[in-house]
Amino acid sequence: MSNTKVLKLVPKSEAKPAAAKAAPAVTPPPPPSNPVPASAPAPALVPSEPGPSAPRPARRRDRRGPRDKRERREQPRLSREEMLKMYRTMYLSRRLDDKEIQLKNQNKIFFQISGAGHEAVLVAAAMVLRPGYDWFYPYYRDRALCLQLGMTPQEQLLSAVGAAADPNSHGRQMPSHWGHKKLNIVSQSSPTGTQLLQAVGCAEAGYRFKLIKELNKRTSNFHKDEVVYVSLGDGTSSEGEFWEALNTACNLKLPVLFLLEDNGYAISVPVEVQTAGGDVSRLLKGFPNLYLQRCDGTNVLESLATMKRAAQYCREHKGPALVHAKVIRPYSHSLSDDEKLYRPDEERASDAERDPVKRFGALLIEEKVTDQDSLQKIKDEVDALVSEAADQALASPQPGAETVPLYVYSPDVDPTAKEFDTEAGAELSGNSGTMVDLINRCLHTEMARDPRIVVFGEDVADCSREEFLDKVKGKGGVFKVTANLQRKFGSARVFNSPLAEANIVGRAIGMATRGLKPVVEIQFFDYIWPAMHQIRNELALMRWRSGGDWKAPLVIRVPVGGYLKGGAVYHSQSGVSTFTQIPGLRVLYPSNALDANGLLRTAIRCDDPVLFLEHKHLYRQAYNKSQYPPDDFMIPFGKAKTVREGTDLSIITYGALVQRSIVAAKQAEQQGISVEVVDLRSLQPYDWNAISATVQKTNRVIVAHEDSLSFGYGAEIAARISDQLFEYLDAPVRRVAATDTFVGYAPQLEDAILPQAADVLAAITEVSSY
């Protein structure tokens, strides 16, 4: 009697067994030579207690074609023990959904979103992947995947009640926002599709580690045949980041396994409204290197065979795979939704016939793998387990209010600390260089020091076609800031990206999560907005939302600002306050070459995400040039610099307004007014002690910046001065800023819009006479 079985799940509505054949691939590549990786656990195990065998079919002539024979060969051979374990996980996932719904109705938890109807393909996916070895970026329906990987029912219910012990987020995120350090499940969030580019970056980190020779001895958490799993719903395939992720994964042949769980609806919007033709996999046929498969995601055996092929394709470094699994959604989108408002009863009843939990249970009984009593015993054990886990979760303490500020920034590395301050007494040498020169020098020395640093963005490489490097001067960025980095450190560490800002930041987050140190460039601040989702909702939040379990320290370099004569609306923006109000993100803004060198070095060596703003107008100004500092020269965050001493009035400023304020201060001196100018240099954090000291010294203050006046960065400084230093003021706090408009192209418009030295001087005169 055989210990293993080959089962084929047939929908009840189909009369003939042959009707349940695996759906054909859309673009079938050659079959993998070995459906199961040699290093992976074999899917067919000899059970310790043999179960009944399936009835042997009568012998008949096999008239199947070549592909049909292959499908039959690839049907999974599973032991009785494995099949019952799969059923148990599927049923457990459903019962956890039901328990959370019950708890929500009892007002004991606060949100619920289910994975019902997706259980079969998710259990199959987890069976061919390896927790703690492969990497996982699941979306909120992936409860069954996480259970099969090793997450416990109690851990999932701890998330539902918002307990401090919740390994997903320690009470900081909604339920079903999965994350588990031990299992390599990277912290996931609510924005739809942002996980896709991060998964690509995670896989790319492994790709880069293999190419960078200096990292060969640092690859303890990298494996040659690792796979990065990422899932999404059919609605998410409408997001641009889905297509950006596929583009890069295919271009670099990265081992990313995309699982598209298509339940036909994105909340209430059906797939034919979301997708041209109503079938996204039909639109993907032109992607090179993509192993594209379809399967009935409610058929656990068909799903297992399909996921095996997809995982093996990735492990063999042939490229990414995408499995388009048709699943169902028997429950509403979430408990905040009522699908009866937009789905007719007959459609819901049709879905119910394909319920993967009921179908697999019925098949196990039909094929005599088990009987009704044994199956009921499993259900009873699971029900008791879920009930006990819920009681334990409800009794688990919630996080204390004192934990709120923890993990906004790194608890391990403080970039405001003294060890990052080597400014005093630094010996400068060589000819004076511009801001571009000293930033470039910093990048060269830091990349030589730390092989984990990778530099990428649009146009940052010298020449993507390496065979031409000896024939051309090289690009090195539109402002030449990254010139010769590729020549020096190679294309594995310095490379161009697609023209897609979310692609740049999303991939960088995935790389940083794996231990690389990306220093990426957004070519112009004006075009940073496509990456805003990744910056605001992912990069800045990664550490806090995971309770310190995950982090993504990286640097985003961004040319910013106006005063260019011709920069106009889309090359002159300065929306600093949009980013300084984001907790978890450091923001720096040097006004001269030396500060740029020291602050960038600190940014690279710190453990937080940093937005490093480089004013385009200041890149090559003669007045802010400097000799070169030593290779350990650093300026700490939150340390302002008094660039001009004064006694009658203080100007607090940064960026291009530093020089304009100095010019205005010299002109005011001719009127007998002594003006002190303080360059903040670091905007988040900023140096409150320096601000307090100068206000108490002069008793009059102006805040000058390039942002628009209303809601600009200076409003925060002015408000805090008025709030905490009011008794020291002899005049109202005055702001000098740009008009509440956009920057025009014509020079006379730009001069009128952006603050000039004359505007600063007028404010000095007015405040001094108050």
The encoded tokens of residue 157 equal: 């219910």
DSSP 465: S
Closest CA to 737 of 759, 758, 716: 759
Residue with tokens 């920069």: 567
Are the C-beta atoms of residues 400 and 167 closer than 8 Å to each other?
no
Rounded Cα distance, 197 and 533, in Å = 12
Residue with tokens 């919630």: 398
Other CB atoms within 10 Å distance of the CB of residue 384: 10
The encoded tokens of residue 235 equal: 């609605």
The encoded tokens of residue 253 equal: 């042949």
Are the C-beta atoms of residues 498 and 537 closer than 8 Å to each other?
no
Length of the chain: 770
Q: Which of 180, 571, 617, 705 does the annotation list as catalytic?
A: 571
How far is CA 32 from each of CA 28, 64, 70, 307, 308, rounded to the nearest angstrom? 11, 20, 11, 12, 9
- What share of residues in the chain are helix, strand, coil (percent, to 5)? 40, 15, 45
Whether 571 is catalytic is: yes
Other CB atoms within 10 Å distance of the CB of residue 568: 17
DSSP strand pairing (682-684 vs 586-588): antiparallel
Closest CA to 174 of 147, 139, 212: 139
Rounded Cα distance, 593 and 597, in Å = 6
Radius of gyration of the chain (CA): 30
Residue type, 667: Q
How far is CA 256 from each of CA 203, 304, 486, 730, rounded to the nearest angstrom? 7, 17, 27, 63
Helix (H) or strand (E) holding 509: helix 501-513
Closest CA to 199 of 138, 125, 147: 138
Closest CA to 481 of 499, 450, 460: 460
The encoded tokens of residue 523 equal: 């070519």
Are the C-beta atoms of residues 552 and 560 closer than 8 Å to each other?
no
Which residue(s) pair with 644 in the sheet?
677
- Assign 299 to helix, strand or coil: coil
Active site residues: 571
